Structure 1
Amino acid sequence: MELRDYLEVARKRWRLIAAVTLAVLAAAAVWTILTPKTYAATTQFFVSTTTSGDSNAASLQQGNTFTQARVKSYTQLLESPKVLDPVIAATGLDVTSVELAKQITSTVPLDTVVIEVTVSDASAERATKIAGELGEVFPRTIADLEKVQDNQPSPVKVTVVKDATAEAAPVSPRPARNLLLGGVIGLLLGLGIALLRETLDQRVKSEREVASVTDATVIGGIAFDADAPDHPLIVQVDPRSARAEAFRSLRTNLQFVNVANPPKSIVVTSSVPGEGKSTTAANLAISLADAGQSVVIIEGDLRRPRLLEYMGFEGAVGLTDVLIGRVDVKDALQQFGRSQLWLLGSGPIPPNPSELLGSSRMGALIDELVESYDFVIVDAPPLLPVTDAAVVSTLVDGAVVVVGAEIVTRDQLRHALDSLVAVKGNILGLILNRVLAKPGSTYSTYGYRYEQDTERGRAKSRQEPATRRDAAATSAPGADSSRRSETPEASALS
């Protein structure tokens, strides 16, 4: 991963990182509050050797070397019963020498003959008392141990150079240090968890994830818009928006997929439900019609049809009626306003959708429509739950797969494309939908000249009366399905 990848992870999962950081900070604060306060008292000893009056430089150097070697052993003696038992007796402590030794820390600075002794205790007064008693006992103990003969003094002398003093503030816990460490550790832990979740997250989020799954071309990218469910036909409602421009770009790219043999019949599908295939098919069809092409869009999802609802139509007859020979296709088509776009609804839900969609009648219907119209678009069900879309892909010129960012996983997309390859379907390309666009990205550059118009268009669309769609629905041949509808201009949601 590059630096920008880490920054992107932090931007996307900042809530997780913040939550982990705050949790660790809270734990550090609780630990600080519950930890008993500990105070420390420090004293210092200076170790020297006695020399004769005619001492010279050599003897002084020899004595210094002797002393430096000795002090290493003296630090061990400070924690021995020989020293601590008298201290316990003098202070009246109710502890053993082993327990008291855990409270004492002795160090020798490098290349010195100074011993620093620190006594820790829950009471600053008691710590000072223990350290002071060590200052009395330790020099006498060393003098006794180093004495060669009873009538001769010890050649080693231990002098207290710093009386025992306790710090006013406790040495533990230290709230500022603990909270700072808690914040740093929490931040690092949060970043680690965020990176782990990002690594384990298999959802497709960008073209890079798509490229890791397939070599198929991404022919379009549609930015995410939270307003899309309320206004699915963005090309009609807000034609100057960035998303509408993205659909027009998709239209252009689709027309150049195969210049030698451009596709005229296309099935639009996805891997799983909820990726936006129906709204994508509808907006693509409107974009093609706006460019002067005659288009027929077929509601090929015979299980959960949504297309006519999105486009403001109702119809009791449709594709299933045409396939069983009950109604002629010319009588089942409905015109979208005054445009060159015609709709063929799903009709009654059949018990055998896959068999109907894969029948010879379906192939003949598509061929018939291709002869009369420039484009035939089939809105098919998702590939993974059912085989309908894979079956239809064998009857058309190619398939366009909608990839819903943050919805479909890489494995799901891979299996969906494999199902098309298995039936030798022609994959024209992929449409990356619901992309979280950032300023300056390819999904937000279109429509930059129309920002003010876009806002006015959105405000106008929100103020439109709900009866527009109802008007389109009542004017559609829902009740009278024997002839083609002449839907008024209001049905176009324009």
Structure 2
Amino acid sequence: MATSRDATRVLSMAWRNGGLVLLSLLAGIAGALVVTEKTPPRYEATATVLVTGGAVSGEQLYVSNATQNLMPTIARLAESGKVAEATAETMGLPTRQVVRHIRADTQEGVQILALTADAPTADKAAAIANATAQVLLPRVGWIRHDGTGSVSAELLDRATAPSRPVSPRPLLNGLLGALLGSLVGVGLTRLRALTDDKVRGVDDLREATGAPVLGSIPYDANVPRNPLIVHSPQGAWSEAFVRLRTHLECVEMNSPPRLIAITSPVANEGKSNIACNLAIAMARGGRSVLLVEADLRRPRSGQFLGLGDAEGLTTVLSGHARLEEVVQQFGEGGPMILPAGPLPPHPSELLASGRCKELLSRLREYYDVVLLDLPPLLPYADVGVLAGLADGTLLVARCPKTRARHLHQSLEALTALNARFLGCVLNAAPSQSNGYGYRTDLTVSAAGLLPPPATLSGRRTGSQVGSR
């Protein structure tokens, strides 16, 4: 199972970074084509020279061996500046076009010298090779070996103009460019993997936290316009909240959490949307639910639910209103909502007060489930106060925004507060999978669990406060 999951993750990473590798590959090929186009062509032509040695009778074997020993010396003579200058003078060319453009090659045991010349044109390469051979022939005759005789040379094969250049080589350059581009792409992919710690799926979230992922909410482009599951009760997005509700109920069958804090590492990760829809899903499941908008800096739950926030949590904690006067209900049979109310200048002090602890204790007795929509965990200290009082905390991460290091810091903060950590919820997950090993089109439909409400607008009521 683990091997299969690892292989799937590797393929997923390769697919995500395939564009980068492909771009690097194409860049390498394009660079090779540019280099090929800008590189002046070079042609090579080869003339061969046979080297022999004269000897007295009976000494042919000795002379042959001595001549072979002289072949490296003759090769260096052919490549020398003196021979190149003489060749250039013979052809009426600038010396620089011949010097270092002659190569002499020999083979062990063979008395044949290969003279190769390179030039910008095929005809010039052949002409230089042949002229060098003619200049070299008489100079070879000056060499003697141990006084037994002289060495002679004769032109064996004249150089002919080659049909194609030896440089540049478009195919070879293209292959090298593709290889280099691919290596660069793989390197950039690896560097990106080391520096980019964004959560891009359920596996990333599970690995970053080491905790269970209780819910995976798929990305839905309609959420900004219709942020509530009641607008699409039969969609995969709505079904994901029903699964989240079910998983929360199964965290501890004997003692399920009743006061649940919902937060995220940083802002704009969708925690308020998760809190609102989870409250609706729980209420549609037959439980009495209260959603407390405890984010006293940027409250969003009331905005999603279309409820007024002239009075709410802050007015209750400050003693200017009673709880039953400010609690509102969302829809027919929907969850109860305690809006944030007027934003206080010092939220931390208000939430850390004894009045707040007393209120949470009362709410725990009034409702089956109380959901606390908290501010982001890392920027604000007041989150820890309520998270420590809750039965458990849900941590929301958004794909591909949340970073693994922020998740680590969040878990460390919850641990320091002795807060119970229930698990994670992945928001805006890739829609092709719900993150639990099966596709959303194979899950149980939520239609029966989320019937359309009679009304979508909230109304003020206190009738359910204190009732079960």
TM superposition score category, shorter chain reference: 0.7 to 0.9
SS in 2 for 1:165: coil
Q: Secondary structure at the match of 1:164?
A: coil
1:236, 1:130 → 2: CA distance? 88
2:273 pairs with 1:279: yes
CA distance, structure 2, for counterparts of residue 219 and residue 3 of structure 1: 23
Tell whether 2:37 aligns with 1:33.
yes
Whole-angstrom distance in 2 between the partners of 1:67 and 1:242 = 89
The 1:339/1:161 distance shift into structure 2, 3 A limit, reads farther
Q: Is the CA contact 1:43–1:117 (under 8 Å) kept in the aligned structure 2? A: yes
CA 1:89–1:302: 2 relative to 1, 3 Å: same
- After TM superposition, the score normalised by the length of structure 1 is 0.83
For residues 296-317 of structure 1, what are the alpha-carbon distances to aligned partners after superposition, in whole Å with 9 as ceiling and x for unaligned? 1111111111112222333322
**Partner Cα separation in structure 2 for residue 301 and residue 442 of structure 1:** 31
- The residue type paired with residue 411 of structure 1 is R
Shift of 1:81: 3.0
Supply the distance in 1 between the matched residues of 2:34 and 2:382 (Cα, whole angstroms): 59
Residues 332 and 344 of structure 1 are in contact (CA less than 8 Å); yes or no, is this contact kept in structure 2?
yes
Measured in 2, the distance between the counterparts of 1:72 and 1:33 equals 37
Deviation string 1:224-245 (CA, Å, 9 cap, x unpaired) is: 3333323322x32333333322
Does the CA contact (< 8 Å) of 1:267 and 1:389 recur in 2?
A: no
Deviation at 1:450, TM superposition (A): 8.5
CA contact (8 A) 1:435 1:443 kept: no
Deviation of 1:53 after TM superposition, in Å, equals 6.6
| Aligned-pair CA distance for 1:48 | 3.6
Q: Give 1:424 shift.
A: 1.6
Seen in structure 2, the aligned counterparts of structure 1 residues 381 and 109 have a Cα distance that, compared at 3 Å, is farther
Q: Aligned partners of 1:4, 1:217: CA distance in 2, in Å?
A: 19
User: Residue 394 of structure 1 is aligned with which of 376, 381, 388?
Assistant: 388
Are residue 216 (structure 1) and residue 220 (structure 2) matched? Answer: no
What amino acid sits opposite 1:106 in the alignment? A
| 1:260-339 aligned within 5 A | 260-339=254-333
In the alignment, the residues of structure 2 paired with residue 439 and residue 75 of structure 1 have an alpha-carbon distance, to the nearest angstrom, of: 71
Deviations 1:404-443 (A, max 9, x none): 2322222211112222222221112222223325469537
Between the aligned partners of 2:146 and 2:89, the Cα distance in structure 1 is: 27
State the number of aligned residues. Answer: 456
Of the structure 1 ranges 218-227 and 182-191, higher mean CA displacement relative to structure 2 is found in: 218-227
1:135 pairs with one of 117, 120, 133: 133
Residue deviations 1:174-210, cap 9 Å, x none? 2232223212211221111111111121223344444
CA distance in 2, matches of 1:176, 1:215: 50
Q: Within 5 A, what are the aligned runs for 1:59-74?
A: 60=61, 65-74=65-74
Which of 108-117 and 138-147 deviates more?
108-117
8 Å contact 1:285–1:341 — kept in the other structure? yes
Matched, 1:176 2:167: no
Choose from 162, 174, 186 the match for 1:167: 162
Q: Write the letter of the residue equivalent to 1:197.
A: R
Cα RMSD (Å) = 3.1
Q: Contact 1:82–1:141 (CA<8 Å) still a contact in 2? A: no
Match of residue 81 from structure 2? 81
**What is the CA-CA distance between 1:82 and the residue it aligns to?**
3.8
SS of alignment partner, residue 116 of structure 2: strand
Q: Distance in 2 between matches of 1:169 and 1:263?
A: 81
Distance in 1, Cα, partners of 2:68 & 2:280: 93
Kept after mapping to 2: 8 A contact 1:37/1:173: yes
Q: Distance in 1 between matches of 2:226 and 2:441?
A: 18
Name the amino acid aligned to 1:39: Y
Letter in 2 for 1:167: P
CA distance in 1 between counterparts of 2:443 and 2:252 reads 31
Give 3-state SS (helix, strand or coil) of 2:183's partner. Answer: helix
Deviations 1:360-418 (A, max 9, x none): 22222222222121100011110111122211112221211112232222221111222
C-alpha contact (below 8 Å) 1:222/1:443 kept by paired residues: no
Q: 1:256 aligns with which of 241, 250, 258?
A: 250
TM-score (norm 2): 0.87
Provide closer, same or farther for how the CA distance between residues 243 and 74 of structure 1 changes in structure 2, counting only shifts above 3 A: farther
1:158 to 153, 160, 163: 153
Q: Identity rate of aligned residues, in percent? A: 33
For the 8 Å contact 2:432–2:439, the answer to whether it is kept is no
- Look up the match of 2:49: 45
The answer to whether the 8 A contact 1:147-1:153 is kept is yes
Could you tell me whether the CA contact under 8 Å between 2:28 and 2:179 is conserved in 1? no
Amino acid at match of 1:381: P
**Compared CA separation, residues 440 and 289, structure 1 to 2 (3 A):** closer
The aligned amino acid for 1:300 is: A
Report the equivalent of 2:105.
Answer: 107
Write out per-residue CA displacement over residues 462-482 of structure 1, whole angstroms, 9 at most, x where no aligned residue.
Answer: xxxxxx9xx955x645xxxxx
Q: In 1, are the aligned partners of 2:217 and 2:434 still within 8 Å (CA)?
A: no
Q: Tell me, yes or no, if structure 1 residue 192 matches structure 2 residue 187.
A: yes
The answer as to whether partners of 1:397 and 1:426 remain within 8 angstroms in 2 is: yes
- 1:441 to 1:41, Cα distance in 2 relative to 1, 3 A: farther
Query: For 1:227 and 1:108, how far apart are their aligned partners in 2?
Result: 77
Partner residue of 1:413 out of 407, 419, 431 = 407
Are residues 153 and 444 of structure 1, via their aligned partners in 2, closer, same or farther at CA, if it must alter by over 3 Å?
same
Alpha-carbon distance in structure 2 between the residues aligned to 1:143 and 1:393: 100
**Deviation (angstroms), 1:294:** 1.0
Q: Structure 1 residues 441 and 209 mapped into 2: Cα distance closer, same or farther (>3 Å)?
A: closer
